[in-house]
Structure 1
Amino acid sequence: MDIIITRSVADAQETKTSFSIPGLSPRIIPFIELTSLTDGIKRAQELIQHSSYSLLFTSTHAARLCHSLLSPGLTTPCYCSGDKAALFLTGLGYSDVHSAHKDSLALVEYMIKHAITYAGTEKLLYLCARDVSHDIVSLLGDQGFNVSSVALYETTHKNYLSPQELAYLTSPCSKIILFYSASAATAFVEIVNHYHLKTALHTLTAVTISDIVGNILKSIPFSDILIADLPNEESLLRTVTLFLNKNQRDT
């Protein structure tokens, strides 16, 4: 069965490489694009060069940009919302990496529980996208943390489909489509409405990383919408595996 990865190209390539589920043929159709912000990168470079910060991440892409463009020391403390960004940094040689194993709110809770002794003294720098849907700075600031943020990139929605992508999405064969973010889900709904595709997607099964993402897709008449138990890639792929196993039993 084909499985469609809707992430940005860089993240989707990593996901495609990590696929090890038998019987799946991954295909990338990105519904979002990530664009670096020159001013934000310059601002972050200035901050890191002139002061010591512990870094906060809620996306692997922010960690990727930080490493390649900001060059913080490998001993810089890094706090990540999920395991993927943490593993990415650890793999590059960063020695002081921590994971909240879940999402942005879990990262806030992790900081309050494990790093409360640093509140008000250690400076935290949240490196993120321009359009993040959460306010880590305010949440941690209310708890006494000295925290600021810099947007390193922005997310833009894809607003077109190539003839090949359009034909593929509306083909009658059963497919799975993965949604990792609210941005990708919103972009997909916009595309569906623009091309009037609602009646042609009944063979697609959507698998989403959270209830929030799933709710965005409720207006689309998929064959089914499945929600991962936890908001991480491992749980998402486990949900796919369970679906495939059930599908095989039913057939």
Structure 2
Amino acid sequence: MAVLVTRPAPDNQATADALRARGLEPMLAPMLTFQPLPFRSDNDERYSGVILTSANVIRAIVAHPLLQHLQTLPAFAVGARTAQAARDAGFRKVRSAEGDAAALRELIVAHGLPRKRAALLYLAAADVSRDLVSELGLRGVEVASIPVYRMAELDEFAEPVRTAFAHDAIEAVLHYSRRSATAFVKAVRRGGLEVSALALPQLCLSAQIADVLRDAGAHRLIVARAPNEADLLAALEEVLRPRQ
């Protein structure tokens, strides 16, 4: 029996390793794929810090001339993994939130820079689940946003995944974002797999992700205690324990 991992590559490989370390069999079914976007930014533009909501931002800018300019600025990362990716890319002053956008917003408000200084630069995805720029603006923090990557939906399962669902060879599904959960639901419907797929335990990084699956008809919804993978996998082990 396998645990389906909907997380995009390359991060899904780390999840697969973590599952194997727990004696579980991973099956990778990424529902989103990373695509860097071309962007322009004047190196002479003055910013007072950088907002990082995903390690994908680092992948998108790692070869861009702007990176060297930004490395010296304070960086506000959504969580530990993004913070570490920033440090690995040469950022020297990194603060980490607790793993979601609300915690990041409060971190910026609490530890941000004086209001009359230059704007913070938000290196964003093309599709975002919440308007962090407006939320910070209401709190008196000026933010300039530049889309640097997009996550394209993959709304159809590969044949091995469809076969695994058909043979009841999957025992749980891991979900990491609202958009990937939405793509998962589309793939389930495209493959005519609603009964077998949505009846399984759906392990979600947040309540907002669980809402997407609940609206699609899933009932066995489990939300991680905190929005990080360690708590998600702890919840998975708890769900599967009676079966082992």
Common topology (TM > 0.5): yes
Query: Does the Cα contact within 8 Å between 1:5 and 1:177 map onto a contact in 2?
Result: yes
Match of 2:228 among 206, 223, 232: 232
- Corresponding residue of 1:111: 108
Deviations 1:84-128 (A, max 9, x none): 10122223443211011131111111111122x422314210011
- Corresponding residue of 1:99: 96
Q: Which runs of 4+ in 1 moved over 6 A?
A: none
Amino acid at match of 1:194: R
Equivalences for 1:1-251 in 2 at 5 Å?
Answer: 1-19=1-19, 21-38=21-38, 42-43=39-40, 46-48=41-43, 50-69=45-64, 70-73=66-69, 74-115=71-112, 117-201=113-197, 204-220=200-216, 224-248=220-244
Q: CA deviation at 1:80?
A: 0.9
Q: Name the SS of the counterpart of 1:217 in structure 2.
A: helix
Q: Identity across aligned pairs (percent)?
A: 28
Q: CA deviation at 1:48?
A: 4.0
Deviations 1:204-239 (A, max 9, x none): 321010111111112455572211111122221221
Deviations 1:141-187 (A, max 9, x none): 22222311011112222132332221123222342211000011000
Query: Does the Cα contact within 8 Å between 1:121 and 1:145 map onto a contact in 2?
Result: no
Unaligned residue ranges in structure 1 (runs of 5+): none
Moved more, 231-240 or 86-95: 86-95
Deviations 1:16-44 (A, max 9, x none): 34446422112211111222222xxx22x
| RMSD, aligned α-carbons | 2.3
Q: Name the SS of the counterpart of 1:101 in structure 2.
A: coil
Amino acid at match of 1:56: I
The aligned length equals 242
Unaligned residue ranges in structure 2 (runs of 5+): none
Q: Name the SS of the counterpart of 2:42 in structure 1.
A: helix
